[in-house]
Each structure stands twice: as structure tokens, then as C-alpha cells.
Amino acid sequence: MKNTKIKRTLLEALTKAGKIIRSNFGKEQTITKKGEFNLVTEIDKASEKAAVELILKHFPDHSILAEESPAVTGSNSRWIIDPIDGTTNFAHGFPIVSVSIGFERDGQLEMGGVFDPFRKELFFAEHSRGATLNGKPIHVSKVKTLSDSLLATGFPYDRNKNPDDYLDMLRVFLTKIQGIRRGGSAAIDLCYVACGRFDGYYEMKLSPWDKAAGMIIVNEAGGKLTDFSGTSLTLLGSQNLATNGLIHAEILVALESFKGLR
């Protein structure tokens, strides 16, 4: 019964936050900066407030790790929230944006949901129960070779300090694949790997809220998640690689020279 309540709360929080994002899209925003390239809008804060208040209403003793608020600690049950994954897109009126919420118990991800309020696509997964898109089962692609693959990537906020590393990484793939995309929402990129739209995705320096929900969705859809050395991906890891599993070994070979990058 408790897992049913957690799922219901998670989905309700995603929907509620998504409505706030959609209803304020394209309007003039108050924008601040956490770094040179890291934006925050008033809607990030409003979306997060709505999700957190709803969760704590049902589970007042649970811990919360949310991007725009101080962490709430003390429980072995934790909600990991990105109120707008793709804030730069949102601020510029580019509709590749999502809300991402993961639920973790005793250090293990048990559920995750990612909601794209513009395409009305809701990705969800529960441990050992598979992954879905709008309630229908999803699976990773069956593409077997890197040369036939469509990949996704992103660029960290510190790219002004060491752009050559990220450009070199991009250069490695440009002549080896069908194409590469940079959408600007890590959560959506992970979900697109899960449903087969992308065959693989790599990016450096994601925060836990960027990837928590996407990780369990990819895993439950049959994908593979590691760092650039092939070690299982963690919430705190700096290197992030998600694939359909079939092209994973080839991508690890391509990323061999970047294993030491942190």
C-alpha cells in the first residue's frame, strides 16, 4: 500500500509542477544566475515549492534533495527533485523542458518519473516492474553498432574553464555515428534512451537531481548505465553514460582517453 501511495504522490507532484511550467512558458521571467551559464527562474522555485509541499503533505518525515532548496535530511526515504530540467531552454522559450522526481530508499532508487509538459509525455519506472511512457511499456533500441547510432550529449556549466575536453569528446564521435543531438535536458535525454529514440547518451558532471529518475527509467527499460570506465553509474559520479547496452562497449572504447576526466 505504501508504494502505491508513493507512486500516486510522485505522479501527482510531476503533474502539478508541469502545469506551473506550461502555464508560465513564454512569459517574462525574473532570472538570476548561480554561475555564468547556470540560470534560475522564479518558475523553477514555484515548481519546486509545489512538488515539495505536496510530497511533505503525504510524507512529512521523508528527506528531500531538490535543486533550488536546502536539503531536508533525517530519513532513509528520500525524494530527489529537479523542478525544471532545462531551465536555460525554458528561459529562452525553447520547449525542451521536464520535471524530474526520483524516490530512493536506503540508498537504492525505487521509482522515478520524468514529465515533459509540452509533449504531455510522462515517463515512469519502478524497480523490477519495467518502464513506461504514458502507461505503455518502453524498451531501449536494438541498434547494434555505433556507426548506426543516434547519440545525445550535453555540456557542463564549467565549459568555459576547459572547453577543449568537451570539444575533443564530441570530436571523437562525429565521424563514428549517424548523428548527435544536444537537447538541454538530461532527464529527457535519458528517457529518450529508455524509449529507443536515442541509442546512447553521455555527459559530464550531472547533479543527482538531473539523473535520479532517468537512471531507473533507463535501467528498467533494459539499458546500461556506467561511468567512462564501465563502472556502474552512481548519483554522485562525475561521468555519465547511458546506452541500449548493445553499443556500450564501443562507446567505452571511444571514451578511453577520457576515463581520467573529472
User: Would you give per-residue pLDDT tens digits along the chain (262 residues)?
Assistant: 478 999 999 999 999 999 999 999 977 777 676 655 556 788 899 999 999 999 999 999 999 999 989 999 999 999 999 999 999 999 999 999 999 999 999 999 999 999 999 999 999 999 999 999 999 999 999 999 999 999 999 998 777 777 888 999 999 999 999 999 999 999 999 999 999 999 999 999 999 999 999 999 999 999 999 999 999 999 999 999 999 999 999 999 999 999 988 8
Instruction: Identify whether 101 is a catalytic site residue.
Output: no
Q: Per-domain residue ranges for the chain?
A: 2-137, 146-258
Instruction: Identify whether 9 is a catalytic site residue.
Output: no
State phi, psi for 165 to the nearest 5 degrees: -60, -45
Give me the catalytic one of 85, 189, 203, 227. Answer: 85
pLDDT value for 110: 98
Give me the catalytic one of 48, 68, 82, 199. Answer: 82
Q: Which residues pair with 243 in a beta bridge?
A: 200, 224
Give me the catalytic one of 43, 44, 68, 87. Answer: 87
pLDDT value for 35: 56
Query: Measured between alpha carbons, how far is 70 from 51 in angstroms, rounded to an integer?
Result: 14
Instruction: Identify whether 227 is a catalytic site residue.
Output: no
Query: Measured between alpha carbons, how far is 206 from 211 in angstroms, rounded to an integer?
Result: 7
Give me the catalytic one of 44, 48, 67, 110. Answer: 67
Query: Measured between alpha carbons, how far is 99 from 239 in angstroms, rounded to an integer?
Result: 22
Task: Find out whether 124 and 112 touch, Cβ atoms under 8 Å.
Answer: yes
Q: Which amino acid is it at 225?
A: L
Kindly state the greatest CA–CA separation across the chain. 52
pLDDT value for 38: 58
Q: Which residues pair with 147 in a beta bridge?
A: none
Instruction: Identify whether 85 is a catalytic site residue.
Output: yes
Residues 6+ apart with CB under 8 A from 191: 98, 114, 121, 123, 133, 214, 217, 218
Give me the catalytic one of 84, 96, 101, 247. Answer: 84
Q: What is the DSSP letter of 257?
A: G
State the architecture of 146-258 in CATH terms. Answer: 3-Layer(aba) Sandwich (3.40)
Q: What is the DSSP letter of 232?
A: B
What CATH number is given for 2-137 in this structure? 3.30.540.10
Q: What is the DSSP letter of 36?
A: S
Instruction: Identify whether 210 is a catalytic site residue.
Output: yes
State phi, psi for 78 to the nearest 5 degrees: -135, 135
